[in-house]
Amino acid sequence: MKIRNILLSVILSLSLCQAARGQMAIKTNLLYDITASLSAGAEFVVAPQWSVEAMITLNEWTKWKCVMFQPEGRYWFDTEMQGHFLSANAILGYGDAGLVKFPKILSIDFSKWENYRYKGPIYGFGVGYGYCLPIGAAWGIEFQLALGVVSFKYDKYDASSEMVATGVHKTYFYPTKVGINLMRFF
């Protein structure tokens, strides 16, 4: 109930900002989409050279189940939703991943992902850089990379779904957002 009320408040606030400025875009992250993680977002201009974005990602169909909400603020160097921008983003989500076999890459040991499943909240923040290339008046392609701190607090399960560890907390310096977004301007 609380989360729903917060999301409705954010959407209403963003809609009022959009109405005042008259600029918005809807988007999807094509990199997430090709991994069967559906993504949808909206971006609104809130002031000259400033915009806010909210992106939701959902994957319930693979062994990498997740739901994520990623709010972001952007400073545009020239015109809103065109050219270069700097961003600050947050990640709030929940993951349920594991029991997946990976090929050995550069001597990295992925065996923990083959034998265990990890379930729990994901949260973090990062800063990034991006570029938006308009394609005509109504469409655009956006490229973005953000790095930051991501924390995972999870319970660990073995292949028979028996809990092995509870309340494990790990924090990493990690990409917080990697995107090639297809955008539709309004």
- Between 155 and 111, the more confident residue is 155
Average pLDDT of span 46-69: 88
To the nearest 10°, report the CA torsion of 20, 72, 134, 84: 110
Q: What is the pLDDT of residue 11?
A: 52
The architecture in CATH of the region 2-185 reads Beta Barrel (2.40)
CA–CA distance, 42 with 32 (Å, rounded to integer):
16
> How many C-beta atoms lie closer than 10 Å to residue 53's C-beta?
22
Most confident of 17-26, 46-55, 109-118: 46-55
Please give the model's pTM, rounded to 2 decimal places: 0.78
**DSSP secondary structure letters along the chain:** -HHHHHHHHHHHHHHHHHHHH--EEEEEEHHHHTTT-EEEEEEEEEETTEEEEEEEEEE-SSSEEEEEEEEEEEEESSSTTSEEEEEEEEEEEEEEEE------BTTB--HHHHHEEEEEEEEEEEEEEEEEEEETTTEEEEEEEEEEEEEEEEEEEETTS-EEEEEEEEEEEEEEEEEEEEEEE-
Instruction: Round the average pLDDT of the chain to a whole number and report it.
Output: 83
pLDDT of residue 86 exceeding 80? yes
CA–CA distance, 28 with 164 (Å, rounded to integer):
37
Per-domain boundaries in the chain: 2-185
Average pLDDT of span 77-103: 87
Average pLDDT of span 160-174: 83
CB distance 25 to 140 below 8 Å: yes
Q: Which residues contact 9 (CB under 8 A, 6 or more apart)?
A: none
Distance from CA of residue 176 to its chain's centroid? 7
CB distance 36 to 59 below 8 Å: yes
Average pLDDT of span 25-46: 92
pLDDT of residue 7 exceeding 70? no
Nearest to 38 by CA among 26, 63, 62, 56: 56
Q: What is the pLDDT of residues 115-160, one digit of tens each?
A: 778 889 999 999 999 999 999 889 999 999 999 999 989 888 887 7
Nearest to 129 by CA among 144, 117, 140: 144
Q: What is the pLDDT of residue 141?
A: 96
Nearest to 97 by CA among 113, 121, 110, 111: 113
